[in-house]
Amino acid sequence: MNMDGKKILVVEDESVVAMHIEESLRKLGYAVCGVVASGEAAVKKTEETIPDLILMDIVLKGEMDGIEAAGQIREKFNTPVIYLTAYADDNILSRAKLTEPLGYIVKPFNERELKSAIEIAMYKHEMETKLKKMERWLSITLRSIGDGVIATDKDMHISFMNKIAEEMTGWKSEDAVGKNLVEIFNIRNGKLENTEAVEKLLLDKVLKQGVILNLINDNLLITKDRKEIPIEDSVAPIKDDEHNIPGIVIAFRDVTERKQLEETVKFQACHDYLTELPNKTLFTEHLNIELSKAQRDNKKLAVLFLDIDRFKTINESLGHSIGDKLLKQVSASLMTCVGETGSVARVGGDEFGILLSDIRHPVDAVVGADKIIETFKTPYVIDGHELNVSTSIGISIYPDDGNNFEDLMKNADIAMDQAKEKGRNNYQFFNPAVNVRTLERITLENRMRQAVERSELVVYYQAQVDIATRRIIGAEALVRWLHPEMGLLNPVQFLSLAEETGYIRTVDTWVLRAACEQNKAWQNAGLPPICMAVNLSAQQFQLPDLPDTVTRVLKETGLGPQYLDLEITENVAMKNFEFSVPNIKRLNKLGIRFSIDDFGTGYSSLSYLKNFHIQKLKIDKSFVQDITTDSDSKAIISAIIAMGHNLKLKVIAEGVETEEQSEFLRSMNCDEIQGYLFSKPLPADEFRQLLIDKKWEVSFRSRNLLSS
Ligand code: C2E
Ligand code: MG
Ligand code: MG
């Protein structure tokens, strides 16, 4: 070490010793910047000369001894001190230690001892100063870098935390130090949901194995006041010279802005910049997802391909800026039209794709297309221009017109071209047959919705006859629709449509009322009272207020409940067992009877039947009609009758067309019969005549007389 020019202050109250030291120092090549004899003088001289080293006698005469003087000097000037001591007790030495001296020289000493003590002391001082500088520099760096930094000890207790870490976690360093890391650095990650998992990972990987965990994304830092900040962090073990890991250090940064940017980029990648609607890419994705759902649930989907009519003309005559504004407004109105039921995308310049999921019938797509065409009828007002715009729509249906994105889009596009050819401002299905069928259906549906109001529904009545006495004991009410163009329609021609659209409930309620009214009217006219059987659809039967409706109708028409018999099919009854039983019970209590219609075609279980509180089984006509040809049918009929009687139920057979069938049923002890043999379903006045004439009894008697 080069000691040239180093200034040394000598503090020694024995002048002989002082002189000796001074002389030795000069000989050794040091500059002596002063020789003083008291503590006070040492402090003063230090201030004046700023020595590089002080040789300080511990025991000094005067108020201030060497230790105290050294203490003050260290504190003020950080000047290194070597104590000179002739003797020292433990007490003095431990006091001296506190002032962090750089060495002791025991008097008397020779030059060589002095030289090496000074050199060691100066070297130590230089190292210490460097270290302190480095430490200061490090701590400034840690405090001033933009990342949060947290360090822990080997038990994962926090030992350090910089300003950014304080700000981000919401914890003050003084409160956090000593606390468990995971309490302060509380993070959540998609993969590691709880803090224990995070803690275990840090313990195992970083503290035990010494692994550096670099740049962990998608972590959320939960702040002290429970806010969530997306962060990116890295964790490293702190290693000492012996390769121990006395702690870990975590650096982390707030990536909120970057995340937002990523979101924006992601959004822009799959949305149209102008209208902010999904673009073709996202539309494809949506459609594929919905396609697999539809496939799984066996449902239909509609894809609408929509093009604004004459958009090019608008763009060219009024300018692109107006064109752009129009596209935005059109997008907004399409979104309103489609609402929750589907999704809209801009798939080309003036082309839009619409996906309608979960449709029951192509008609549902028509409802959407109609709504859009209707919306376009209101002119768009843009920058003072009133624009009358229309649109042409092509529709393809999954699975009928394709089972993948490309086919469905291509076919909807073709259909759209057809709509353009047909004069624009309309929609077309890809499959022309669907156009026709849908049109027919829509016309029928619209017409049907008005059937009740326009009094187009009629009830026909079919006699139910006691097999033993051959008297009419009841009638079944069977609905007909007198269509203004198509004539008299049977239930098969319109009931399935009524069921799909829910109109069946209106039909059923209307028939119930009409039939009860009619029955009461016949009774009022003095005809023998009969029981009226009315069919109930599945939907009507499931209505919780069915008992109330029936009660109200009976009250309003004045018909006694014993003259009403409600028919439900086997399947309807079975399907809604928990529902059926209480509903039937309530109606039974009112005195109304129940029959199971089309019996034998469903899957009744005997034990269920017992619980049903029904009064009658109605053998389906298919068995009756096969009696003469099929021995199985005979067996089934006799079994149904026997079973019905065992359960104390009446049994009626429907569709009886011949004497042979009637005779067989009588021989099997069937209770009642209904069918063309006696009477077809008749309009009310003809049925009334039947009741008056007792024609059937006459014909039966005459037949009997003839045969006898
Ligand atoms: P259903 O209740 O089993 O009615 C018996 C059907 O068999 C009636 O057909 C009747 O005309 C027919 N039929 C009666 N006797 C004979 C016969 O000897 N031979 C043949 N081949 N057929 C016979 P309809 O009137 O066409 O009714 C068909 C079905 O429509 C009914 O079957 C019933 O399920 C339903 N329906 C009729 N009216 C209503 C109603 O007001 N509401 C509800 N929900 N359904 C109704
Ligand atoms: Mg029936
Ligand atoms: Mg039937």
Is residue 128 predicted with pLDDT exceeding 70?
yes
| Rounded distance from Cα 476 to ligand 3 centre (Å) | 10
Closest CA to 102 of 85, 121, 130: 121
**What would the pLDDT profile of 10-42 be if each residue is shown by its tens digit?**
999 888 889 999 999 998 888 999 999 999 999
Higher pLDDT, residue 62 or 694: 62
In the block, residue with structure tokens 């065992």: 646
536 CA closest ligand 1 atom index: 44
- The answer to whether position 438 is within a domain reads no
Q: What is the pLDDT of residue 302?
A: 95
**What would the pLDDT profile of 532-546 be if each residue is shown by its tens digit?**
999 999 888 888 889
681 CA closest ligand 1 atom index: 11
Q: What is the pLDDT of residue 108?
A: 81
Q: Kindly report which listed range (130-139, 387-396, 486-495, 525-534) carries the lowest average pLDDT score.
A: 130-139
Mutate to test the pocket of ligand 1, among 479, 535, 542 (most ligand atoms within 8 A of CB): 535
Rounded Cα distance, 367 and 566, in Å: 35
| 290 and 399 belong to one structural domain | yes
State mean pLDDT over 429-433.
83
| 188 and 87 belong to one structural domain | no
- CB-based burial of residue 385 (10 Å sphere; 0-12 exposed, 13-18 middle, 19+ buried)? middle
| 132 and 218 belong to one structural domain | no
- The answer to whether position 685 is within a domain reads no
Instruction: For the chain, report the end-to-end CA distance as a whole number of angstroms.
Output: 151
Q: DSSP labels for 538-607?
A: HHHHH-TTHHHHHHHHHHHHT--GGGEEEEEEHHHHHHTHHHHHHHHHHHHHTT-EEEEEEETSS---HH
Q: What is the pLDDT of residue 3?
A: 56
| 184 and 316 belong to one structural domain | no
Which of 259, 291, 321 is the C-terminal boundary of a domain?
259
| 582 and 458 belong to one structural domain | yes
Contact yes or no for 696/470 (Cβ under 8 A): yes
| Rounded distance from Cα 442 to ligand 3 centre (Å) | 29
State mean pLDDT over 402-411.
93
| 594 and 621 belong to one structural domain | yes
pLDDT band at residue 708 using 50, 70 and 90 as cut-offs: very low
- The answer to whether position 442 is within a domain reads no
Give the helix ranges, DSSP H, for 278-404: 280-297, 311-318, 320-338, 362-375
| Rounded distance from Cα 503 to ligand 2 centre (Å) | 19
Higher pLDDT, residue 608 or 135: 135
Contacts of 286 (CB under 8 A, 6+ apart): 278, 343, 345, 355
Is residue 631 predicted with pLDDT exceeding 80?
yes
Helices 66-77 and 90-98, axial angle in degrees (round to 10): 10
State mean pLDDT over 438-443.
74
Rounded Cα distance, 335 and 353, in Å: 11
**What would the pLDDT profile of 166-182 be if each residue is shown by its tens digit?**
999 999 999 999 999 98
Q: What is the pLDDT of residue 704?
A: 45
Rounded Cα distance, 179 and 158, in Å: 6
**What would the pLDDT profile of 361-374 be if each residue is shown by its tens digit?**
888 888 889 999 99
Is residue 707 predicted with pLDDT exceeding 50?
no
Q: What is the pLDDT of residue 677?
A: 93
- 661 Cβ inside 6 Å of ligand 1: no
| 396 and 518 belong to one structural domain | no
**What would the pLDDT profile of 648-664 be if each residue is shown by its tens digit?**
999 999 999 999 999 99
State mean pLDDT over 352-364.
88
| Rounded distance from Cα 489 to ligand 2 centre (Å) | 17
Q: pLDDT over 90 for what percent of the chain?
A: 50
HSE, side-chain direction, 13 A CA sphere, residue 381:
1
Running DSSP on this structure, what letter comes out for residue 529?
P
In the block, residue with structure tokens 């589907």: 342
Rounded Cα distance, 300 and 359, in Å: 5
| Rounded distance from Cα 478 to ligand 1 centre (Å) | 6
Which of 232, 259, 286 is the C-terminal boundary of a domain?
259
- 537 Cβ inside 6 Å of ligand 1: yes
Query: What CATH number corresponds to the domain at position 489?
Result: 3.20.20.450
Is residue 316 predicted with pLDDT exceeding 70?
yes
593 torsion bin: left (phi>0), alpha (psi -120 to 50), beta (else): beta
Contacts of 576 (CB under 8 A, 6+ apart): 538, 541, 542
Longest dimension (CA), the chain: 171
| Rounded distance from Cα 288 to ligand 2 centre (Å) | 45
Q: What is the pLDDT of residue 194?
A: 64
Contacts of 282 (CB under 8 A, 6+ apart): 270, 271, 345
From atom 30 of ligand 1, which residue's Cα is the shortest distance away?
491
Is residue 701 predicted with pLDDT exceeding 60?
no
Q: What is the pLDDT of residue 705?
A: 42
Query: What CATH number corresponds to the domain at position 335?
Result: 3.30.70.270
Q: What is the pLDDT of residue 88?
A: 66
- 508 Cβ inside 6 Å of ligand 1: yes
620 CA closest ligand 1 atom index: 3
- 535 Cβ inside 6 Å of ligand 1: yes
* Phi, psi (rounded to 5 degrees) for 248: -130, 160
CA dihedral 613→619→620→623, nearest 10 degrees, is 150
| 500 and 648 belong to one structural domain | yes
| Rounded distance from Cα 538 to ligand 3 centre (Å) | 14
- The answer to whether position 671 is within a domain reads no
Instruction: Enter the tokens of residue 486.
Output: 């198509």
Domain that holds residue 378: 273-430
Q: What is the pLDDT of residue 607?
A: 65
Q: What is the pLDDT of residue 4?
A: 61
656 CA closest ligand 1 atom index: 18
State mean pLDDT over 687-704.
66
From atom 21 of ligand 1, which residue's Cα is the shortest distance away?
655
Q: DSSP labels for 18-79?
A: HHHHHHHHHHHTPEEEEEESSHHHHHHHHHHH--SEEEEESS-SSSS-HHHHHHHHHHHH--
Rounded Cα distance, 464 and 514, in Å: 18
| 295 and 236 belong to one structural domain | no
How many domains, in total, are found in the chain?
4
Query: What CATH number corresponds to the domain at position 156?
Result: 3.30.450.20
| Rounded distance from Cα 598 to ligand 2 centre (Å) | 7
CA distances from 289 to 314, 355, 564 (A): 36, 11, 51
| 199 and 105 belong to one structural domain | no
Contacts of 461 (CB under 8 A, 6+ apart): 475, 476, 477, 478, 515, 518, 681, 682, 683, 684, 687
Q: What is the pLDDT of residue 192?
A: 58
- The answer to whether position 649 is within a domain reads yes
- 512 Cβ inside 6 Å of ligand 1: no
490 CA closest ligand 1 atom index: 26
- 12 Cβ inside 6 Å of ligand 1: no
Which ligand has its closest atom nearest to the C-alpha of 513?
Answer: 1
From atom 10 of ligand 1, which residue's Cα is the shortest distance away?
681
Q: What is the pLDDT of residue 392?
A: 95
- The answer to whether position 92 is within a domain reads yes
Rounded Cα distance, 658 and 646, in Å: 27
In the block, residue with structure tokens 């009461």: 520
| 162 and 121 belong to one structural domain | no
In the block, residue with structure tokens 């511990």: 58
Q: DSSP labels for 144-201?
A: HSSSEEEEE-TTSBEEEE-HHHHHHH---HHHHTTSBHHHHSEEEESS--SHHHHHHH
pLDDT band at residue 699 using 50, 70 and 90 as cut-offs: low
State mean pLDDT over 192-208.
76
State mean pLDDT over 187-200.
71
State mean pLDDT over 432-451.
78
Q: What is the pLDDT of residue 685?
A: 95
Q: What is the pLDDT of residue 146?
A: 81
| 137 and 149 belong to one structural domain | no
pTM above 0.75, yes or no: no
Q: What is the pLDDT of residue 552?
A: 96
**What would the pLDDT profile of 251-262 be if each residue is shown by its tens digit?**
998 989 988 998
Q: Kindly report which listed range (87-101, 314-328, 449-463, 561-575) carries the lowest average pLDDT score.
A: 87-101
- 496 Cβ inside 6 Å of ligand 1: no
Is residue 550 predicted with pLDDT exceeding 60?
yes
Which ligand has its closest atom nearest to the C-alpha of 508?
Answer: 1
Q: What is the pLDDT of residue 190?
A: 63
Higher pLDDT, residue 608 or 243: 243
Which of 259, 284, 300 is the C-terminal boundary of a domain?
259
- The answer to whether position 703 is within a domain reads no
598 CA closest ligand 1 atom index: 3
Q: What is the pLDDT of residue 97?
A: 79
Query: What CATH number corresponds to the domain at position 26?
Result: 3.40.50.2300
pLDDT band at residue 605 using 50, 70 and 90 as cut-offs: low
Is residue 43 predicted with pLDDT exceeding 90?
yes
State mean pLDDT over 124-132.
87
pLDDT band at residue 706 using 50, 70 and 90 as cut-offs: very low
- CB-based burial of residue 67 (10 Å sphere; 0-12 exposed, 13-18 middle, 19+ buried)? buried
Is residue 85 predicted with pLDDT exceeding 50?
yes
Q: Which amino acid is at 425?
A: N
Q: What is the pLDDT of residue 488?
A: 92
- 655 Cβ inside 6 Å of ligand 1: yes
| Rounded distance from Cα 651 to ligand 1 centre (Å) | 17
Q: What is the pLDDT of residue 703?
A: 47
- The answer to whether position 601 is within a domain reads yes
**Mean pLDDT score of the chain:** 88
